[in-house]
Chain A
């Protein structure tokens, strides 16, 4: 899976979770989206782990700074486990 493919699937999850879903780009950050608070963030992480059947390792989600890096992380976890 490429970053772009992951972002397409992420968009569907964001569409479910956000009342007014942002258009995802690799550069987008949580700070750009007023609705993206800590509650939404937890919802997203649990939903993403379920949808992609991945489990992030300790600390690595926090280390990502934007949607692109988050998508890259998902790519890594789906290939490396």
Chain B
């Protein structure tokens, strides 16, 4: 983590310090980084560097516990304050929490809104023998848990505060060996029992901070710190301190932020492998016939289980609607079906626009939406133009998808009700009542922000295999769908009576590779477009305009005065039926199967684009 920038911002008194602080804090993984950021925050406050946007009223937070609360309280308050939530802190004395709650004068006077209670592990020990009867040990575990829950309930009654109660980390050491799990009296089993009792019996005002789970997740050996215990009665490793602090801050902030309601999903390479409109129903990867197909199917199952918890599902995909819905209706391996979704947007509009429309139709705020996509450019457009939406960028490996969804922490229920389960139906009805309304994002500034670079070249031998592949694969954005072998592509290289162009596109997210091809044949003063195709991945990126600009320039050089565009209809290329009209061509003839369009070069002027041409013919 590079900290020199934020140090300079602080030294210069630059208020951007706070945005940097929040971002760095969110991504910090090392304990010393986090503590250092906390130290910078305090220095900024001491230097009266104001956080922009003004401060809401502070959170009155009490932390009580059976071990040293330092530096946990430092971690927790920093995590909260870095988000802009200022904390007024009441810090309990070491192992004095019972008295602090029972004789609540000081605590009550503080009027806490949240009490974090961290009982010491020394309190969670069975004092009898290892061979004691199961019932005896279970009763003792219930008593330990009952005491803590009563104490939490008392704290809540006296102060009205929400209580965050930590449970117990399981011991990491082999100690009793195999016998550990054969008796209820081992520390290991006893703590598990107590934790179960705590979780199952906690009243609504008490949230459990599940340290058992957090320590298991990171590894219990990595969670303990014997030296810290002896030096300062602080039992947790730096690793667990961070995890516990983040969990507590999430629980506390969770009390103040509404939950997410809608999970919006991309389709191609998100719910299945491949591009349905290109690869067809048979070509997509979904289901138990391949490892990748299994991974996508498992992801769909994880999504269905969210739906069963009451999360609304929706689709937002750059796609042809009829093609996009086909797998849901006809593919036997699909887990998700069209009826699982409250909204299904498969079109060519910007996804941010679609999400906004969806929110209007469903009568929900965009801040309750989570958008999932495998494509960083789509995530970026949503981040820029619908910033209230939370985005989740999927990993490059579909095997990670389930884990990413289950770790996203956006759909965690406090309790599950019948209403949750029926919600999908309610919202479908709501949407059907509403008419669609549209709002356009500022497409130009989005395109500008992509920093696109185009490389338009005449056909050459190096590109030939990729040219042939694209010519034979493209279905949707393909005006004439004329297929050519690699040998036929070679024949076109260097032909004086042809203009054969390909284009590569790169943007700040990476290289899209060779994505568009135009083949024109010169016939006197006329250039007839034999082939015009493009990968749908780069729709609405002004690739079409860039190609037309180059084509017209070269046509003029060949002495042509007009360009003839031909559209030949197929089952898959409906989306380009009016392509030439959109590009400013005049319609000469148009039937269902075929259209001819003419562009008069004398009156044509180049279309301005946001694509910077890096290499031309």
Chain B residues closer than 8 Å to A43, beta-carbon distance: 32, 35-36, 39
Known: A17-B36, A19-B43. A58 touches B3 (CB 8 A): no
Judged by DSSP, the binding face of B is helix
Known: A16-B3, A19-B10. A62 touches B35 (CB 8 A): no
> Which of A16, A44, A58 is within 8 Å of B231, CB to CB?
A58
CA of A35 to CA of B40, assembled, Å: 11
Q: Assuming A37-B39, A40-B36, A46-B30, what are 14 further A-B pairs, CB within 8 angstroms?
A: A16-B3, A17-B36, A19-B7, A19-B10, A19-B11, A19-B40, A39-B35, A42-B71, A43-B36, A46-B238, A47-B32, A56-B227, A57-B227, A59-B231
Chain A's closest residue to B35 (CB) is A43
CA of A38 to CA of B74, assembled, Å: 11
User: Which residues from 12 to 31 on chain A have a C-beta closer than 8 Å to any C-beta of chain B?
Assistant: 16-17, 19
User: Which residues from 377 to 405 on chain B have a C-beta closer than 8 Å to any C-beta of chain A?
Assistant: none
Chain B residues closer than 8 Å to A58, beta-carbon distance: 226-227, 230-231
Chain B residues closer than 8 Å to A42, beta-carbon distance: 32, 35, 71
Interface size on B, residues (CB 8 A): 22
Chain B residues closer than 8 Å to A44, beta-carbon distance: 32
Chain B residues closer than 8 Å to A35, beta-carbon distance: 43
Chain B residues closer than 8 Å to A39, beta-carbon distance: 35, 38-39, 42, 71, 74
- Whether B31 is near chain A, meaning CB under 8 Å from some CB there, is yes
Interface size on A, residues (CB 8 A): 19
- Chain B positions 46 through 76: 1 when the CB is less than 8 Å from some CB of chain A, otherwise 0: 0000000000000000000000001100100
CA of A44 to CA of B35, assembled, Å: 10
Chain A's closest residue to B47 (CB) is A19
CA of A46 to CA of B237, assembled, Å: 11
Chain A residues closer than 8 Å to B32, beta-carbon distance: 42-44, 46-47, 50
Chain A residues closer than 8 Å to B71, beta-carbon distance: 39, 42
Chain A residues closer than 8 Å to B36, beta-carbon distance: 17, 40, 43
CA of A46 to CA of B43, assembled, Å: 20
For the complex formed, measure the closest distance between the CB of B73 and the CB atoms of chain A, giving whole angstroms: 11
A-B contact pairs, 28 of them (CB 8 A): A17-B36, A19-B7, A19-B11, A37-B39, A39-B38, A39-B39, A39-B42, A40-B39, A42-B32, A42-B35, A42-B71, A43-B35, A43-B36, A43-B39, A44-B32, A46-B31, A46-B32, A46-B238, A47-B32, A50-B30, A50-B32, A56-B227, A58-B226, A58-B227, A58-B230, A58-B231, A59-B231, A62-B231
Chain B's closest residue to A48 (CB) is B32
For the complex formed, measure the closest distance between the CB of B87 and the CB atoms of chain A, giving whole angstroms: 16
User: Which residues from 209 to 241 on chain B have a C-beta closer than 8 Å to any C-beta of chain A?
Assistant: 226-227, 230-231, 238
CA of A17 to CA of B38, assembled, Å: 12
For the complex formed, measure the closest distance between the CB of B549 and the CB atoms of chain A, giving whole angstroms: 51
